[in-house]
């Protein structure tokens, strides 16, 4: 293997950069592309994808900016099928592997270190989950490492204009999430605590912030005009999930890339604090811990810090390669750890087993993303059966959550009653007509509905027929008549965030 700084192809100031390791990096990207492509149509839509598909294009929504739903609508040109919806996520994941390897190279990592980074990251648990289905977090696979790469270049190349490049990416990312603010807080805290503080005395970082605000201005204006709905959404998620997220955060960090490569990213943190040549990057460990702390206190999703974890891992591959190069068996040990972690991650994160098998193993219980891809056509068929038992032009279907609503929108036959929901942005997309007399309620909304109608009767229960214990399995399908409040009041009562 080439030495860490051997055969430089580029020179930045007085610092030689290793060559980009095209073969190991591109082979990892190709393997990931093939794997994600092969499993793209294995189960079905994820509930989030059904939701994105249902949302009309808009400047923003109560729960998110406009970009991911817009990307979802663009995939319909390929075909209204799960595999088409998964294509952008696959491309984001594959591209992010190249960016992670660039970070390893930027701090002096040669071919061996870049290979470790590319293959270890490509088959990390979260990379596979976010690369299989289209989530708002799928684009973050690119955004967070790219921002950190450009900020790292400010210091490794002594070129402060990279702040502006980072600002452009931050501004664009605001159309997908405002979560990037966590990363910016982490970077600022790290530089203030560990230095080099002189970087903040320059006008370049503030130019980067200004560029980010200008690029992201339309989305920020939308948020301000509409009362910052994403802050309300964040509070709702924290109230709903924090009890589960906070206890699971540290264990989850240990499995995000795989437990066997934890020593690699720990080595990255230690080396960043100890290596003289990385003195200007000592802010990164502080940024990492600040971001993890912010995720803990926000209490919304455990994977929000994955982008900075991937960067710490990419840097940790440099000392890992230095250690491994001292003996051939050590290289084999690191490769074995990456391969074993990758194999377990594939099994847990992707629909590689028959769905009935996954339902009977711990995989279904461990991976919510897998659970949320199962049963949608079957559930809709069961709901449609109840709807057609007493056909009426005055029927409306009310779904508890956006997954149910999106599945009904996708799979109900033409001429079916309209579908409504009070969940998140769907609450603003319309309401049943005043002439509606028969309401088919789906899911956990029934207890609330029973308080608003004179009569409600359960006519069936959702069953995916394979026993996958997801959010819908066993939920009631009920018919309610005799509303005791107006339609508008009914839908206002059913509106909820989460």
Query: 230-250 pLDDT, tens per residue?
Result: 888 877 777 776 667 788 888
Residue 243 has a pLDDT of 67
3-state secondary structure of 478: strand
Host H or E run for residue 15: strand 15-17
Residue 460 has a pLDDT of 93
Mean pLDDT of the chain: 91
Residue 336 has a pLDDT of 96
Q: Is the pLDDT of residue 32 over 90?
A: yes
Residue 8 has a pLDDT of 37
Q: Are 118 and 74 in contact (CB under 8 A)?
A: no
How many CB atoms lie under 10 A from the CB of residue 136?
20
Residue 15 has a pLDDT of 61
Residue 334 has a pLDDT of 95
How much helix, strand and coil, in percent to the nearest 5, is found in the chain? 65, 10, 30
pTM exceeds 0.75, yes or no = yes
Reported as a pLDDT band with limits 50, 70 and 90, residue 7 is very low
**Span 481-497, mean pLDDT?**
92
DSSP 29-84: HHHHHHHHHHTTTSS---HHHHHHHHSPP-S--SSS-SHHHHHHHHGGGT-SSHHH
Q: Is the pLDDT of residue 68 over 70?
A: yes
Among 205-209, 298-302, 436-440, the least confident range:
298-302
Q: Is the pLDDT of residue 2 over 80?
A: no
**Span 353-375, mean pLDDT?**
88
Reported as a pLDDT band with limits 50, 70 and 90, residue 309 is very high
Residue 6 has a pLDDT of 34
Q: Percent of the chain having pLDDT more than 90?
A: 77
Residue 338 has a pLDDT of 97
**Rounded distance, CA 49 to CA 420, Å?**
17
Q: Are 43 and 373 in contact (CB under 8 A)?
A: yes
Reported as a pLDDT band with limits 50, 70 and 90, residue 432 is very high
Burial code of 2-39, b = ≥16 C-beta within 10 A, e = fewer?
Answer: eebeeeeeeeeeeeebbebbeebbeebbebbbebbeeb
Residue 479 has a pLDDT of 95
pLDDT in tens, 83-123: 999 999 999 999 999 999 999 999 999 999 999 999 999 99
Among 178-182, 244-248, 386-390, 437-441, the least confident range:
244-248
**Span 211-219, mean pLDDT?**
94
CA dihedral 71, 72, 73, 75 (to 10 degrees): 90
Residue 5 has a pLDDT of 37
Q: Is the pLDDT of residue 22 over 70?
A: yes
Residue 1 has a pLDDT of 35
Reported as a pLDDT band with limits 50, 70 and 90, residue 452 is very high
C-alpha distances (whole Å) from 127 to each of 92, 312, 386, 419 are 10, 15, 40, 34
Residue 242 has a pLDDT of 66
Residue 386 has a pLDDT of 94
Q: Are 479 and 438 in contact (CB under 8 A)?
A: yes
**Span 386-395, mean pLDDT?**
86
Provide the residue ranges of all domains of the chain, joining segments of one domain with +. 10-357, 376-494
**Span 408-435, mean pLDDT?**
94
Q: Percent of the chain having pLDDT more than 70?
A: 96
Residue 391 has a pLDDT of 77
């Amino acid at each position: 293997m080439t030495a860490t700084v051997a055969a430089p192809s580029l020179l930045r100031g007085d610092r030689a950069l290793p060559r980009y390791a095209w073969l190991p990096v591109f082979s990892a990207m190709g393997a990931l592309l093939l794997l994600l492509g092969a499993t793209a149509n294995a189960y079905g839509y994820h509930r989030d994808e059904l939701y994105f598909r249902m949302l009309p294009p808009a400047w923003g929504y109560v729960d998110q900016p406009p970009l991911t739903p817009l990307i979802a609508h663009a995939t319909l040109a390929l075909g209204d099928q799960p595999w088409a919806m998964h294509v952008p996520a696959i491309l984001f994941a594959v591209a992010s592997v190249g960016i992670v390897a660039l970070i390893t190279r930027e701090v002096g990592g040669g071919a061996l270190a870049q290979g470790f980074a590319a293959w270890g990251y490509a088959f990390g648990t979260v990379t596979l989950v976010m690369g299989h289905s289209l989530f708002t977090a799928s684009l973050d696979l690119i955004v967070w490492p790219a921002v950190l790469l450009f900020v790292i270049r400010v210091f490794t190349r002594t070129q402060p204009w990279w702040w502006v490049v980072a600002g452009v990416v931050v501004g664009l990312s605001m159309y997908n999430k405002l979560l990037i603010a966590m990363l910016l807080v982490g970077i600022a805290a790290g530089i203030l605590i560990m230095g080099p503080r002189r970087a903040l005395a320059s006008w370049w970082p503030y130019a980067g912030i200004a560029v980010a605000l200008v690029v992201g201005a339309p989305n920020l204006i939308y948020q301000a005009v509409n009362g910052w709905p994403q802050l309300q959404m964040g509070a709702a998620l924290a109230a709903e999930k924090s009890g589960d997220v906070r206890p699971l955060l540290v264990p989850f960090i240990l499995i995000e890339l795989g437990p066997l490569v934890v020593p690699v990213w720990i080595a990255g943190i230690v080396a960043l604090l100890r290596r003289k040549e990385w003195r200007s990057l000592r802010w990164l460990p502080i940024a990492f811990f600040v971001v993890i702390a912010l995720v803990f206190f926000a209490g919304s999703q455990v994977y929000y810090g994955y982008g900075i974890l991937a960067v710490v891992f990419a840097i940790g591959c440099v000392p890992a390669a230095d250690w491994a190069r001292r003996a051939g068996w050590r290289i084999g040990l690191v490769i074995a750890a990456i391969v074993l972690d990758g194999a377990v991650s594939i099994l847990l994160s992707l629909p590689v087993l028959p769905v009935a098998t996954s339902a009977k193993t711990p995989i279904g219980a461990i991976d919510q993303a897998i659970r949320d891809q199962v049963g949608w056509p079957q559930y809709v068929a069961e709901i449609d059966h109840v709807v057609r038992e007493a056909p009426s032009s005055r029927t409306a279907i009310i779904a508890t959550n956006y997954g149910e609503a999106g599945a009904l929108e996708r799979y109900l036959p033409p001429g079916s009653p309209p579908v409504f929901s009070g969940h998140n942005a769907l609450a603003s997309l319309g309401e049943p007509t005043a002439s509606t007399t028969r309401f088919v309620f789906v899911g956990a909304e029934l207890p609330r509905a029973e308080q608003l109608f004179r009569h409600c009767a359960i006519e069936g229960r959702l069953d995916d027929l394979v026993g996958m214990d997801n959010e819908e399995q066993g939920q009631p399908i009920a018919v309610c008549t005799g509303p005791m409040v107006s339609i508008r009041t009914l839908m206002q009562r059913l509106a909820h965030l989460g």
